Chain A
Amino acid sequence: MGEVIVITSGKGGVGKTTTTANLGTGLAVSGKKVVLIDTDIGLRNLDVVMGLENRIVYDIVDVIEGTCRLKQALIKDKRYDGLYLLPAAQTRDKNAINPQQMINLCDELRSEFDYILIDCPAGIEQGFKNAIAGADKALVVTTPEVSAVRDADRIIGLLEAHDIKNPRLIINRIRNDMVKRGDMMSIEDIIDILAISLIGVVPDDENIIISTNKGEPAVTDSKSFAGQAYRNITRRLMGEEVPLLDLNVSEGLLSKMKKLFGFKSA
């Protein structure tokens, strides 16, 4: 039986979609059968990040309204076997589906796939309620900003109210140099406030922007430091014990890379 995991954050722009794309791809690379569901109806992005936008014929609303069969709407990834995307509709809104329909959809997918990753929209309204309805587990993404952490705290409360216990935390876009200077919240500061278990820390990495624009998740790029962080989170999701990335090393590597890019552009 597959596991349904929702990736959520409350605040927008902290990296839910990027995280979903990278973890999904990472799991598929490890030989798992994975389906990614974009529940951000009306503002879909996951298809773009996955580079599958031009293959969409049917979407989640078509499946739920019975316009097509579920199999017809699943888009097979162009690079990895066992990775599928169920895209959101762009010309509809969040009210086109309801939580009960999401539960049914997840149950239908559960028998076919090892992991069902749900990309949650920002906010706490209908879209959020739909996204978490069918989920067994949750990953909460936050960045080291007071506003993002505040929203993550609210989300964790709502998840617990909906009986999704023990959500796990991903801290995204952390910059060790800023933390050291005291200009950014540290991992410890964030965990102090949120008090949930950490599943991974992803360093700020400009490769992510490059790979997102290209439609190729960074997790497959062995040179990308953020990609390494996502690979580690993937392994932790599958139950392995992997130590946290040493961000001090990252600083050297990152600055090296930055120098490299700086050199190139000069």
Chain B
Amino acid sequence: MEQEAKSVVFKGNSDGLVIVFPEGCEFEQALQEIDNKVSNAARFFKGAKIKVVYRGINLTTEQEKAVYDILVKKSGAVVESFSRDEENKGAGNIAPKPSRTNEATRLRFYPGIDEGNCKFVKNTLRSGTRIDYDGNVVIIGDVNPGAEVVATGNVVVLGTVRGMVHAGADGNRDAFVFALGLKPTQIRIAECIARMPEESDSDGFCPELATVKDGVIVVEQIMRPTLK
């Protein structure tokens, strides 16, 4: 049982492999284990392009080289890179990571938020109606409380939103919600959720645009001069 807990663990991620070293393990022993595991799984790895990161302990440059050599020789895979997982490193080296994860996941989003499929709804959505669409949605009318609009693209409402709207429903944070009046019970963009302040004393009718900034939904008024 103890032996089990101390062994090296392999995990898959979106673009390759994560090797997790148990804390305080002997490097030589761990190297042997990696050798065994990779050799056994050689057929699985063969021909694949993988990026490999590791966690758990800090390796010296020589040790990294030793692991890298085993991976290259025994797996038969094309090892594009081998490095320590940035998540566990200091803050200094985070920069490349977000761009890479973005690139990896973006392919799964609805791609047409700038130009793509669009559904037009030419009436007011009353409580209990739900529009679910893979693309952008334009509503000519209001969205009343209890109505829901869920789109993988943008949502534009030429009326007042008092119900729930969800833009970028498949995870696209670049999607936006625009409405001539924005007083929703709840607004969602990708996985972010926001609700209006309890005492919203917004006076009158002003077009507003909701977008995601730094992981938070931000609503800004769109005045005439800025609508170029």
**A-B interaction:** yes
Is the CB of A42 closer than 8 A to any CB of chain B? yes
Is the CB of B72 closer than 8 A to any CB of chain A? no
Tell whether, in the assembled complex, residue A55 and residue B195 are in contact, meaning their CB atoms are under 8 Å apart. yes
Chain B residues lying within 8 Å of A44, measured Cβ to Cβ, are: 146
Report the separation of the CA atoms of residues A43 and B146 in the bound assembly, to the nearest whole angstrom: 9
Could you give, for residues 186-216 of chain B, a 1 whenever the CB lies within 8 Å of some chain A CB and a 0 otherwise?
A: 1000000101100000000000000000000
Chain A residues lying within 8 Å of B193, measured Cβ to Cβ, are: 57
Chain B residues lying within 8 Å of A48, measured Cβ to Cβ, are: 145
Known A91-B129, A91-B130: A53·B145 in contact at CB below 8 Å: yes
Report the separation of the CA atoms of residues A53 and B164 in the bound assembly, to the nearest whole angstrom: 10
Tell whether, in the assembled complex, residue A54 and residue B128 are in contact, meaning their CB atoms are under 8 Å apart. no
Is the CB of A90 closer than 8 A to any CB of chain B? yes
Tell whether, in the assembled complex, residue A91 and residue B185 are in contact, meaning their CB atoms are under 8 Å apart. no
Most chain B CB neighbours (cut-off 10 Å) among A42, A53, A54, A55: A54
| Nearest chain A residue, comparing its CB with the CB of B193 | A57
- 8 A Cβ contacts from A77-100 to B: 90-91
Is the CB of A70 closer than 8 A to any CB of chain B? no
Tell whether, in the assembled complex, residue A54 and residue B185 are in contact, meaning their CB atoms are under 8 Å apart. yes
Chain A residues lying within 8 Å of B130, measured Cβ to Cβ, are: 91
Report the separation of the CA atoms of residues A42 and B186 in the bound assembly, to the nearest whole angstrom: 18
| Nearest chain A residue, comparing its CB with the CB of B131 | A91
Tell whether, in the assembled complex, residue B128 and residue A91 are in contact, meaning their CB atoms are under 8 Å apart. yes
Is the CB of A164 closer than 8 A to any CB of chain B? no
Q: What's the dominant secondary structure at chain A's contact region?
A: loop
Is the CB of A56 closer than 8 A to any CB of chain B? yes
Chain B residues lying within 8 Å of A57, measured Cβ to Cβ, are: 186, 193
Report the separation of the CA atoms of residues A56 and B184 in the bound assembly, to the nearest whole angstrom: 12
> Chain B's nearest CB lies how many Å from the CB of A43?
8
> Chain B's nearest CB lies how many Å from the CB of A222?
23
Most chain B CB neighbours (cut-off 10 Å) among A44, A55, A90: A90
Chain A residues lying within 8 Å of B129, measured Cβ to Cβ, are: 91
Is the CB of B148 closer than 8 A to any CB of chain A? yes
Chain A residues lying within 8 Å of B146, measured Cβ to Cβ, are: 44, 90
Tell whether, in the assembled complex, residue A90 and residue B185 are in contact, meaning their CB atoms are under 8 Å apart. no
Tell whether, in the assembled complex, residue B148 and residue A54 are in contact, meaning their CB atoms are under 8 Å apart. no
Chain B residues lying within 8 Å of A53, measured Cβ to Cβ, are: 145, 185
Known A55-B195, A57-B193: A90·B148 in contact at CB below 8 Å: yes
Tell whether, in the assembled complex, residue A90 and residue B195 are in contact, meaning their CB atoms are under 8 Å apart. no
- 8 A Cβ contacts from A56-84 to B: 56-57
> Chain A's nearest CB lies how many Å from the CB of B200?
10
> Chain A's nearest CB lies how many Å from the CB of B97?
29
Tell whether, in the assembled complex, residue B186 and residue A90 are in contact, meaning their CB atoms are under 8 Å apart. no
> Chain B's nearest CB lies how many Å from the CB of A74?
16
Could you give, for residues 105-127 of chain B, a 1 whenever the CB lies within 8 Å of some chain A CB and a 0 otherwise?
A: 00000000000000000000001
Chain B residues lying within 8 Å of A90, measured Cβ to Cβ, are: 127-128, 146-148
Report the separation of the CA atoms of residues A57 and B185 in the bound assembly, to the nearest whole angstrom: 11
Contact partner of B196 (CB less than 8 A), chosen from A54, A56, A91, is A54
- 8 A Cβ contacts from B146-180 to A: 146-148
| Nearest chain B residue, comparing its CB with the CB of A215 | B198
> Chain B's nearest CB lies how many Å from the CB of A162?
28
5 contacts between A and B (CB under 8 A): A42-B128, A44-B146, A56-B185, A57-B186, A90-B127
* Chain B residues packing against A (C-beta within 8 Å): 127-130, 145-148, 185-186, 193, 195-196
7 tightest Cβ-Cβ pairs between the two chains A and B: A54-B195, A91-B130, A54-B185, A90-B146, A54-B186, A53-B185, A90-B128
